[in-house]
Amino acid sequence: MNLINALAISIGILAAVATYLCLGTNFGLQVWALFIGWGSFYHTGGGTGGVTKSAINHIWGALVAAIALFVVGTVGGSVAITSALVGISVVVLVLGAHIPALATIPAAVYGYASTAAFALLTGVAIGDITAVFKAAIIVVISLIIGNIFGFVSEKGAGALTAKAE
């Protein structure tokens, strides 16, 4: 079987499982974040390196976003102040790439954006540090489970292509 067909089958089956985990249980997993993590796995090169790079950088991005959300929620103010605070937080996010483990900037952005989106779209009280970090944890767990689903789908596709040869 060719790789594209094998990936389609592997990812399709696992996508159904992932969706059930998110929608059919009370785990609080976010299906959209899981799929972002899954894509990040492939974007960062796949394999164990893809899981590791993605997971570490998702955590970094979520941490920076959570702090930024809390500061914005605490300081409040105009759109200009909020924009400046977000800009500063993104500078910090990117400067983290000076540390080799944090050098996968796109995966960090996925963590940052996913955390901000979840917190803002679900009405998390961003001035409440506990609420913000709880939201960040939900997102990070979903992203990392997505990384793991990516790894499993890659192995599944590999097994399907190997059987055909």
- Better-predicted residue by pLDDT, 76 or 70: 70
Coil, strand or helix at 124: coil
DSSP-assigned letter for residue 159: H
Q: pLDDT tens-digit profile of 82-135?
A: 999 999 999 999 999 999 999 999 999 999 999 999 999 999 999 999 999 999
The pLDDT of residue 77: 80
Read off the pLDDT of residues 129-141 as tens digits, 9 standing for 90 and up: 999 999 999 999 9
- Under 8 Å between Cβ of 132 and 70: yes
Distance CA 107, CA 165 (A): 34
Rg, Å, the chain Cα set: 17
Residue 109, token pair as written in the block: 């952005």
The CA-CA-CA angle for residues 103, 35, 90, to 5°, reads: 35
45: alpha, beta or left? (left if phi > 0; alpha if psi -120 to 50): left
23-65 per-position pLDDT tens digit: 999 999 999 999 999 999 999 999 999 999 999 999 999 999 9
Q: What is the mean pLDDT of the chain?
A: 96
Work out the number of other CB atoms within 10 angstroms of the CB of residue 110.
Answer: 26
C-alpha of 36 from chain center: 6
